[in-house]
Structure formats: C-alpha cells, structure tokens
Amino acid sequence: MKREIKFSLVFRDMWQSAGKYVPTVDQLTRVAPAIIEMGCFARVETNGGGFEQVNLLFGENPNRAVREWTKPFHEAGIQTHMLDRALNGLRMSPVPDDVRQLFYQVKKAQGTDIARTFCGLNDVRNIAPSIKYAKAAGMISQCSLCITHSPIHTVEYYTQMAMELIELGADEICIKDMAGIGRPHSLGQIVANIKAKHPEIPIQYHSHAGPGFNVASILEVCNAGCDYIDVGMEPLSWGTGHADLLTVQAMLKDAGYQVPEINMEAYMKVRSLIQEFMDDFLGLYISPRNRLMNSLLIGPGLPGGMMGSLMADLEKNLETINKSNIKNNKPLMSQDQLLIKLFNEVAYVWPRVGYPPLVTPFSQYVKNLALMNVMQMEKGKARWSMIADDIWDMILGKAGRLPGPLAPEIVEKAKAEGRQFFEGNPQDNYPDALDKYRKLMNEKHWETGEDDEELFEYAMHPAQYEAYRSGKAKVEFTADVAKRKADKQAAAAPATPANVTMAMPTTPQVMTVDVNGQAYKVTVAFGDTANAAPAEKPAAPAAQPAPAAAPAGAGKEVLSPLEGKFFLVKSASDTPVKVGDVVKEGDVLCYVEAMKTYNAVRAEFGGTVTAICLASGDAVSEDDVLMTIQG
C-alpha cells in the first residue's frame, strides 16, 4: 500500500470559477454540516480571494460570513484555508503594510487555519512579509508557485522559487496551477525536486480542469510525493472548475494510494444543495460555457478563477462594441467572435508585458488590457490607447518584478507619457493607512468591530464597504437578480400567438426592496435594456443621496470611455474633484470601475468643473456624460 493522500474541497473557488458570486452566509452554513458528514476532507477552502468583496456586493457583512462558515469545520477538526494575494491582500490592487498585518490577525481570530499566499508575479519579495505575518498570527504559511507555461517558467525556475520560500520560513508549498496549463511531466519534476531536498514540507496541488491536463497532472504530482489534492464536486466540477472528487479518488485508489472513503449519502446531499443554490439565483451568473472544458484555453492560458466572471463581463463588453458598430453602420459581432479576438489579443499582449503569470490580479490585467485593445481597435482607435492605472503599476514594476522583459513599444509609450520605472521594494509604494481609516470610521460613528475586523474590511475594500454600509449594494444586487430572473422567464416563455399581447413590461419598472427593515425604491429595466424606453421619473435608491443639484454646467462634456461604475476616487482617503475646481489637461477627474480595475478618466482639456453628473457607485454606459468643464 502506498502512502496516504488527503483531499481539500475548494468550495469557494468552485463557485468563483463557475460564475460571479459565491453563496450567501445562510446558504454556506446550511451546506457546511453536509460537507463535514461526507467524511473525506482534511481541508476546506473557506474564504480569501474575492470572497469578502462578494459578500459586500450582496450587502452582507463578510466578517459574519467568515466566522459562521469556518466555525463548523473548526469544531470538526477540519483545517480551513484561505487565498491571500500577498501584496494585494484580498483585492486587485496593492495593500498598505499595516493592513496586511491586520489581515492575518483578523482571519485567524475568525477561524482560518492556513494562509495560502501567492504573488501574481512570483516575486518572492511580495510573499516574504506574508510568511512572517501569518506565522505571527498563529497561522500555517502555505506559499504558492503560480504555474504558467512560457520560455521563462521552467522546472528550474519553479524549483529555485520553492527553495527561496522554504528558506524564508514557508511551512508548506502549493503548486497553484490556476489555469490548468501546467504540463503533467514538468509538474511532477517540480514536486520531486522539492521533496528531494525537503521531504518534511507538505505539498498541495491546486489545478483547474479547463484545458484537460489536470487529471494526468494529479497522478504525476502524487507519484512525485504530493500530500494534498484540491478537488471540486458536481455540479460544479470540470469546465473552468476543478477535477471531480469521485474521479480523483477512484484514480488514486487504483494507483494504490491510501485515500479517504466518501459518505455517498452526504455527497448527494451536498450536490443537491449546490444545485438548489444555483436554482435560487447563483446560476443566473454562471455561463453555460464555463461548464465545458476547452482546449482553446491552452493558448491564452487564462485561469479558471477568472473565466467565471469573464463570461459574465463579456456580455456587457459585447453590447458596448455593438452599440459602436450600430452607430458606424458596421456588422454586429457575436460573442464567439469577440472571444476569439480576445484570446488572440491575450497571446499578443502577454509576452509584450513581461510574461506575468496569468493569475489574479495579473490575469485580469492582461485580459483587461487585451480586451481594451480589442474594443478600442474595433472603434478605429490605436492599440494601447487605454491602460488602467493598476495595469501601469504592473508594467512599471510598482507591483513587483516582471518575469520577462517589456516590449520596446511598451517602454516607448511609458517614456512618452513621462512614467517612471520602479526597481525598489513594491511595499514601499503603499504607506500605512489604518490610522486614516480608523479616523474615518470615528467620524462616521462606525464601530471598528470585534478584533478590528470592520476596520480591516473598510481599509481593504473602501468603496464596496461604503456601498454595503449605506444599503446601496443590497439594493443594486437585489434589483439585478430581479431583472435577470425576469429576463430568464421571458426567454423561456413559449412563443406568444400574434393576437395575444405579452404582459412583459416595456419600460423600466419601479419596485420596492427591503434592506434590514428599510424600504428602498429602485428602477428595474426588463428585456433589451439598450432599446427600452426610459421611465418617466426613475427613482434613485434612497440609501445614496442624489448628486448635488448643480445645473448641467456650461462647457464641454466629459464622456465615459466604457461601461462600468462611476467613482470620484479610488480610496476613501483621497480628495475628490468637486464643482468649482480648476483642472488642467491630464489631471485625473474620476474613475470608471470595470472588470475589477479602476480606469482613470483624465481631462482632455483644462478649465473649471461646472457639473458632476453622477454619484459615486452609479452605473454608467459608454459615452454617458460624467461631468462638464468650462474652459
């Protein structure tokens, strides 16, 4: 009999690799006992990554979610692990050092045992503080090698990285094959090299099924000495998700390994609950394409965790492109055509920006840059004409050292815009901020929470936290679910005879949403929102005051370059532009948050701001007027 191999259920990642959201806290606490009853998991992934942001988007308190979700596993002796993005903490952009330190203290207090830390650039300098902070908080520090396939990312490259992390104090190593494009033989060699020098270090393998390599990879890494395997389960295994528990168990059992038995009655209970959650509302955000495996993903190497939200986002991107096509009498583009153009552009962009491993946030940066290029070129504009600030930070070295060299065209563009490259420690760019956020909370009369957990959430996700506290997040989410359900019902309805009039609304409808006992009126559009007639007097959510009642000011209009959400600032501690301010060409006026990045809108001309037409957090479409400036 060969050695024992243990399983970890990546429950959080199962959902986010399939779609946009994870279950609500009430759903999580319902499914946890059945997962424990299955009796086959040594570990369960309970939070991390985008988990807390998703709760905020629901209008839920993420700290309650993590505490209640981890508690039953903790009591059952099952270890819990979270995903940690090193310099970026739980978000897409870098985090101040004091916020990073508080992160581990809070998550340990909430019941999380293992911090799985990765740097999207594989820059060990970004991971080193996480090792120290996790261990100081009493957590197990598991450090990740972000696997990708390029001329730079060799077996030797990853072996050396693992040795450096172990030398810095990592307790465990995770082989993080986030796109499932690691080649089985090479992955086995990496694991064998680590075990040859450090047989005492546990190794956990995480992979996605998409391109089709990962079952073979699981067998290879186990033969080389891997200790833990991450698995998913039906109905969210395979596709952009993970290899299925039942398949992996049967394969390893046949190979002679000691693997846990599965309580199949409990398995079916969990499976049924997952389907129930999908039928409730989560399935509204899961593209059917993400349930399929696709060898086309070998080329662009986009990770499974990103493909979930990508397919949902592409709907809006396609709508934006086709609005422009209609305006310019060009043929409409299909989603398949857009997807192929995007994959081709990713293959073009990736080597030119230094081969960053395609994992959050850098997979999103590369994808967003490629998609912006596609969208701009479709409108007759130049490639690289719109690059978000966070993407520039990656290019310039502010987020860490890129694995490969930049293309001359990128270097020249940076120099032409007067941008400076950075060679120092990335953390030095992001000064401590907890005192600022503590002061803001005091001014707002908000409690900092048990173990300062509310302070942590505000400092980690300022805009989302404010939307959660105001009730705006709950209102917008509830309205979006209502619209999607109505659209789905309309699409599924049988064809209506020509002499029968459908009862489906043709204009936006006002509905009332309850948020913690407070009623809010919201406007919901049904069907084809691009062609829907506007309501006579659309109601704004009561939780978000209307913008200052300045008249539509004189001067030139500043238009939104893309669809997303409008924000005057990226951080609550920044100073927003206001009516009456004098701005000059090139100044940042505001941001449009789209595809998880903040895209700066800069002044194309100088003058005085005469009107700001939106409130922070409002949805915007391309070419909406954001503000007016009098020259």
Residues 631, 629: Cα–Cα separation, whole Å: 6
Residues 556, 560: Cα–Cα separation, whole Å: 13
Spatial CA neighbour of 304 closest among 614, 618, 16: 16
The tokens for 415 are 């120099």
The pLDDT, as a whole number, for residue 381 is 83
Listed residues 288, 323, 341: the one ending a domain: 288
Whether residue 538 is predicted with pLDDT greater than 80 in this model: the reply is no
Regarding whether 563 and 512 lie in a shared domain, the answer is no
Whether residue 621 is predicted with pLDDT greater than 90 in this model: the reply is no
Question: How does residue 540 score in pLDDT terms, banded at 50, 70 and 90?
Answer: very low
Residue 434 lies in a domain: no
Question: How does residue 353 score in pLDDT terms, banded at 50, 70 and 90?
Answer: very high
CB distance 117 to 86 below 8 Å: yes
Residue 461 lies in a domain: no
Regarding whether 103 and 161 lie in a shared domain, the answer is yes
Query: Between β-strands 203-207 and 172-177, what pairing exists: parallel, antiparallel or unpaired?
Result: parallel
The CATH code of the domain that includes 254 is 3.20.20.70
The pLDDT, as a whole number, for residue 365 is 87
Regarding whether 139 and 251 lie in a shared domain, the answer is yes
Regarding whether 172 and 303 lie in a shared domain, the answer is no
Residue 498 lies in a domain: no
Residue range 47-62, pLDDT digits in tens: 887 777 778 888 889 9
CB distance 431 to 459 below 8 Å: no
Regarding whether 159 and 260 lie in a shared domain, the answer is yes
Residue range 303-340, pLDDT digits in tens: 655 555 566 667 777 777 788 788 888 888 887 888 88
Residues 528, 96: Cα–Cα separation, whole Å: 43
Average pLDDT rounded to a whole number, residues 31-42:
98
Residue 550 lies in a domain: no
The CATH code of the domain that includes 567 is 2.40.50.100
CB distance 594 to 565 below 8 Å: yes
The residues with which 353 forms a beta bridge, in sequence order, are 406
Region label for 515, one of left (φ > 0), alpha (ψ between -120 and 50) or beta (otherwise): beta
The whole-model pTM stands at 0.78
Residue range 407-431, pLDDT digits in tens: 999 999 999 889 999 999 999 999 9
Rounded percentage of the chain residues whose pLDDT exceeds 70: 87
The pLDDT, as a whole number, for residue 37 is 98
Regarding whether 355 and 382 lie in a shared domain, the answer is yes
Q: How many CB atoms lie within 10 A of CB 542?
A: 17
Listed residues 247, 264, 288: the one ending a domain: 288
The tokens for 231 are 């698995």
> CA gyration radius for the chain?
24
Question: How does residue 359 score in pLDDT terms, banded at 50, 70 and 90?
Answer: confident
Question: How does residue 497 score in pLDDT terms, banded at 50, 70 and 90?
Answer: low
Residues 294, 37: Cα–Cα separation, whole Å: 33
Regarding whether 153 and 242 lie in a shared domain, the answer is yes
CB distance 300 to 346 below 8 Å: yes
Residue 439 lies in a domain: no
Host domain of residue 590: 556-630
Q: How many CB atoms lie within 10 A of CB 274?
A: 23
The pLDDT, as a whole number, for residue 160 is 98
Residue range 106-117, pLDDT digits in tens: 999 999 999 999
